[in-house]
A and B are shown apart, each in its own frame.
Chain A
């Protein structure tokens, strides 16, 4: 218990250090996340739009879920060597599967009656995608991104074994920072993960059209 209390004086005394490590942490987790969004969302949405590649999306998710982040980072030490690049590649590989599969399911599972009705009203396939499928699928796309975001922020702590910096440096260096430091950094990472998660919840609220708000309330609660 004393150590837990001791974590807070550590935070104030080493605020600059924690801030610097948080900066590194965000760099190594958010850049791969953004890359995975840029690649995964359009690909998943497009596959969902043409209703093809379900096998691909499902198997990528299964493999991605089974892939231990520690093993991935360790294997990449052998291939890429140590440093930030290693961590970023590993985190990209971890973030990509949930983003792709959620994006795919989001668009693929849009009620066929709705898309047919939209076509019947004279919308072009592209308009069906942007005006019907994307707004309806948005909650699910965002929840895929949330899953991936939490995953990258939490896995980035392990990436420190590849010498990539971040808050894992403090968590895994009890010799230098003491148990207080370890606990302080662990609390810090936990709060960071929750904050990143909440940022995307907020983003969903801002970005979504009013017409589908009630659908999203159910999705966010789940």
Chain B
């Protein structure tokens, strides 16, 4: 115990305990990932899931309604399709920035842009699904005495379900990927650990956040496949 040493903990924390992997900026440091999971990765992951779910649900509601209208009034299908494709073509980052003057650096900005990306995919999937219902089936349903509403609810929508689900799958996976870019606007989602690591390139943070986004996409995709299977039991009936 020398006379100069302060009592208790050192004032300057000891940073010399990082593993070799962290010091050498290895490709993926499992120990660092495990120790930082609860602060660096888990909260953005939860934010990311919320962001994607809100976008897909809102996008689905809008696109589904639009598709039903376009299915009834065929002449509307063209204009709605063109508008949706236009929104889809806009680069995500550009769309985020264009919205900032109106809605600010908020989650609302992000959600509006994300919803715009889901629209075209879901709209086309619903419309294609409805259009693919065979005329024979529709005519026999009408012959059995179903009115327009029953025809839609009991025949057309169930038969269009596989196409609708596949559209939802694509939209969800795409939204998970685009939502990383939201980090340029709000400090939220899996893009934020990536952006934070850019200024001092630390591989583990890039790779872990990127891998989590990809994993999340696959998990949500799998869930939708499962929901699709539960909702369409008749597609698996063996004759």
Contacts and interface: CB of A to CB of B under 8 A. Distances in A.
A186 B97 contact: yes
A68 B177 contact: yes
B94 A67 contact: no
B89 to A, nearest CB: 5
A78 B94 contact: no
Contacts of A3: 101
Interface stretch (B3-11, B32-40, B141-149, B209-217): B209-217
A56 interface: no
Interface string A62-74: 1101111111101
A136 to B, nearest CB: 20
Contacts of B213: 66, 68, 71
Given A71-B180, A194-B86, A157 B93 contact: yes
A171 B185 CA distance: 12
Most buried by A among B81, B90, B207: B90
B170 interface: yes
A74 B197 contact: yes
Most buried by B among A3, A157, A197: A157
B210 A190 contact: no
Contacts of B81: 221-222
A171 B173 contact: no
Contact of A1 (B101, B124, B170, B207): B101
B54 interface: no
A171 B90 CA distance: 14
B183 interface: yes
A168 B91 CA distance: 11
A193 interface: yes
A31 interface: no
Contacts of B174: 65
A75 B206 contact: yes
A72 B173 CA distance: 16
B181 A67 contact: no
Contact of B97 (A150, A155, A171): A171
A93 interface: no
B98 interface: yes
Interface in A5-21: none
Interface in A80-133: none
A74 B89 contact: no
B98 A66 contact: no
Contact of B181 (A150, A153, A158): A158
A24 to B, nearest CB: 15
Nearest to B101: A3
A179 interface: yes
Nearest to A82: B201
Given A71-B194, A77-B201, A158 B93 contact: yes
A193 B180 contact: no
B103 to A, nearest CB: 12
Most buried by A among B88, B102, B176, B184: B184
Given A190-B94, A190-B98, A193-B91, A71 B209 contact: yes
20 contacts: A66-B217, A66-B218, A69-B177, A70-B210, A74-B197, A78-B27, A78-B203, A78-B206, A154-B94, A157-B91, A158-B181, A172-B184, A179-B100, A183-B101, A186-B93, A186-B98, A187-B98, A190-B91, A190-B95, A197-B89
Given A70-B191, A78-B202, A150-B89, 19 more contacts: A65-B173, A66-B177, A67-B177, A68-B190, A70-B180, A71-B194, A75-B207, A153-B91, A154-B90, A157-B91, A157-B93, A161-B198, A179-B100, A187-B94, A190-B91, A190-B94, A190-B95, A193-B90, A221-B78
Please name the 4 residue pairs, one residue from A and one from B, whose CB atoms are nearest each other, closest first.
A71-B210, A154-B91, A66-B217, A78-B203
